[in-house]
Structure 1
Amino acid sequence: MKIRPDQIEALQQQQQQANKTKKVNGTAFGEVLNQEAQQVEGQQTSNLPPVPGLQSINPLLQMQQVASVQAATVNEGEFVGKIENLFGELENYAKHLGSPDSGGLKNAYKTLEGVQGGVESLKKDWPGVASENPELNSIVNELEVMAMTEQIKFNRGDYV
């Protein structure tokens, strides 16, 4: 099959038209989203009459305004307490590895999974820890690295 120049030109025109539809005045998606959010905030809620009967189905439909949601903040002392508990769990993990009973490795792995889940919940509960308190962020990162390293060593069979 031979490619003719008129076919190439038609394909280039199609691609140019497709690219034009993809671009939105050179603005990024985040900018467009922010503009729309500001427009919605600036508009007042319309005073439409309620549809009869819907309020009995869902009382939330009666709400006219939605209160702004504040980000949940975690107390720094509580955060440090959670970190200390996770280090205590790592110590329990080490004790389970050294125990001679038959369930030692099973209990150790469960404890290790608990530590990893705890680190994930810490990061989820306080996402701005890196900017607010870099020292605590480095401790959480080190804790995550230790837990991940132990999981790799455990899965590799170093403790069998």
Structure 2
Amino acid sequence: MKISPEQIEALKLQQQQLDNKAKKVDGAAFGEFLNQEVQQGSARKTATPPPVPGLHAMNPLLQVQQVAQVQPAQVSESEFVGKVEQIFGQLDSYAQQLGSSSEGGLKQAYNTLEGIQGGVDSLKKDWPGVASENPELGAIVGELEVMAVTEQIKFNRGDYV
């Protein structure tokens, strides 16, 4: 089987297109993806169940309570996204601190790692149902937790000394 120059050019063009797509994906793209997922999750959550016949006649304040419950959920989702982005920022800072050669850098890195773990614990505590409401965001929290625990083990084992 002979390989023609046209086939080589087509393969190079295809590889360049894949490289261009890979270059377009960066932190901003992740932020946009995260916002889209949160908005889709809120759209799924805002669908209200059908009203129970006669229930509102017994307690007209139920409608007001339901509206009050929906609005904080939207605020908490933006807080969730903000905390996730903050943890990612701490991870970047942690990586830079590990790269520094000074002993103070390791102390700062350990403090940053503890902050990351506290942030993940806070996410899990403040939004316990995120995995069931939005599996993609739940997976992100799970990956952050695994990464924090793994780094804690590596740090305590002395991999960075």
TM range (shorter): 0.5 to 0.7
Give runs of aligned pairs for residues 72-151 of structure 1, distance below 5 A.
73=73, 75-151=76-152
Q: What runs of 5+ residues in structure 2 fail to find an aligned partner?
A: 1-68
Shift of 1:130: 1.3
Deviation string 1:31-71 (CA, Å, 9 cap, x unpaired) is: xxxxxxxxxxxxxxxxxxxxxxxxxxxxxxxxxxxxxxx7x
CA radius of gyration, larger in? 1
So what's the TM-score if we normalise by structure 2? Answer: 0.53
Provide the C-alpha distance between the structure 1 equivalents of 2:85 and 2:117, rounded to a whole number of angstroms: 14
- Is structure 2 residue 145 aligned with structure 1 residue 156? no
**Is the helix fraction higher in 1 or 2?**
2
Q: What's the RMSD between the two structures over aligned residues? A: 2.0
| Percent identical residues | 74
Q: What runs of 5+ residues in structure 1 fail to find an aligned partner?
A: 1-69
So what's the TM-score if we normalise by structure 1? Answer: 0.54
Q: Structure 1: which 4+ aligned runs deviate by more than 3 Å?
A: none
Count residues in correspondence: 92
SS at structure 2 position matched to 1:137: helix
Amino acid at match of 1:115: I
| Higher relative contact order structure (alpha carbons within 8 Å, sequence separation ≥ 6) | 2
